[in-house]
């Protein structure tokens, strides 16, 4: 059994200083626990370098702004703290989790006077999905929960509260033997997986939903640029559920997921092909130091 995250060894950067991992605690009446006033990032380091470090920090600050609070450190300080955390943990290939949240001074919907706290943790996390599943592609259920209307939630923030329906959807999918779930948006259009953006391939072109009510992921943008470099057309458009059976390949992208092929979405089947595997390799080549081996995808 994996070691629980509150019982691991090492140190966490918390409000400007490193503290022992087990001592990185918040009070039970922390506002973020009750009202989801928290934002976070998921980042990967390869060979000691944090991929798109500055872009992730920019998004962390933008997310905090969307939730109406200011991070009490400069972006440069956060970037240096992330690198210091990686070094302090003795890690070169790792996952990093910066998180910012409202503290405990006020307990109620209004929390104007609450201190804003920031923490950064890093740990080894080789693959988000079981590598044994990647040859045929992971299996996705179709979620019953939908991504919200931008008028009802700060949908472009990486905010904790937006992931409640992701957890519900993923748990429901896993209970039925799937790996993850594909979510529709509030209009019933194809949106994304619970923690990754989705792409489809048809007739040599890539199709992906317009990111107008969910995160335009950093990995998403990276893969789109890699496809363009290969001369592959990427079409951002509305994708309807009825179209799911018309595509030949499918893959998802994200910091944790990287580029992961999909073999099934509900009743629809796909075969990971040359284009998907080429983009998997291109992404691996981009993020990993020269000469490092790509994870086993065959």
Q: Which residues are catalytic?
A: 158
Instruction: For 39-76, give one letter per residue: b (16+ CB within 10 A) or e.
Output: bbbbbbbbeeebbbbeebbebbbebbebbebebebeee
Nearest to 223 by CA among 249, 195, 254: 254
147-152 LR contacts (CB < 8 Å, sep 24+): 147/183, 147/184, 147/185, 147/186, 147/191, 147/192, 147/213, 147/214, 148/186, 148/213, 149/186, 149/213, 150/212, 150/213, 152/186
Q: How far apart are CA 110 and CA 130, in angstroms?
A: 42
Q: How far apart are CA 274 and CA 291, in angstroms?
A: 22
Per the structure block, which two tokens stand in for 234?
A: 């990427």
Per the structure block, which two tokens stand in for 2?
A: 């994996």
Q: How far apart are CA 129 and CA 263, in angstroms?
A: 13
Q: What is the SS3 assignment for 166?
A: helix
Q: How far apart are CA 242 and CA 244, in angstroms?
A: 6
């Amino acid at each position: 059994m994996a070691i629980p995250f509150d019982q691991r060894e090492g140190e966490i950067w918390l409000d400007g200083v490193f503290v022992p991992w087990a001592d990185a605690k918040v009070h039970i009446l922390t506002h973020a626990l009750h009202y989801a006033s928290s934002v976070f990032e998921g980042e990967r380091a390869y060979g000691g370098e944090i991929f798109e470090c500055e872009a992730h920090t920019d998004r962390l600050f933008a997310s905090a702004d969307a939730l109406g609070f200011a991070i009490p450190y400069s972006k440069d300080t956060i970037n240096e703290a992330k690198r210091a955390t990686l070094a302090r943990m003795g890690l070169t290939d790792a996952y990093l989790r910066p998180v910012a949240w409202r503290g405990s001074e006020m307990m109620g919907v209004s929390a104007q006077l609450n201190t804003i706290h920031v923490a950064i943790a890093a740990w080894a996390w080789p693959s988000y999905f079981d590598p044994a599943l990647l040859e045929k592609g992971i299996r996705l259920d179709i979620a019953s929960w939908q991504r919200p209307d931008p008028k009802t939630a700060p949908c472009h923030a990486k905010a904790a509260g937006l992931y409640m329906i992701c957890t519900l959807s993923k748990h429901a999918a896993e209970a039925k033997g799937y790996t993850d779930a594909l979510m529709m948006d509030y209009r019933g259009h194809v949106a994304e997986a619970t923690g990754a953006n989705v792409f489809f391939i048809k007739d040599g072109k890539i199709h992906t939903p317009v990111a107008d009510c969910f995160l335009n992921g950093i990995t998403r943008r990276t893969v789109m640029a890699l496809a363009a470099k290969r001369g592959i057309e990427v079409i951002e458009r509305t994708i309807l559920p009825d179209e799911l059976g018309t595509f030949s390949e499918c893959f998802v992208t994200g910091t944790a997921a990287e580029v992961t092929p999909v073999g099934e979405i509900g009743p629809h089947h796909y075969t990971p092909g040359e284009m998907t595997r080429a983009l998997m390799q291109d992404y691996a080549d981009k993020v990993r130091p020269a000469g490092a081996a790509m994870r086993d995808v065959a």
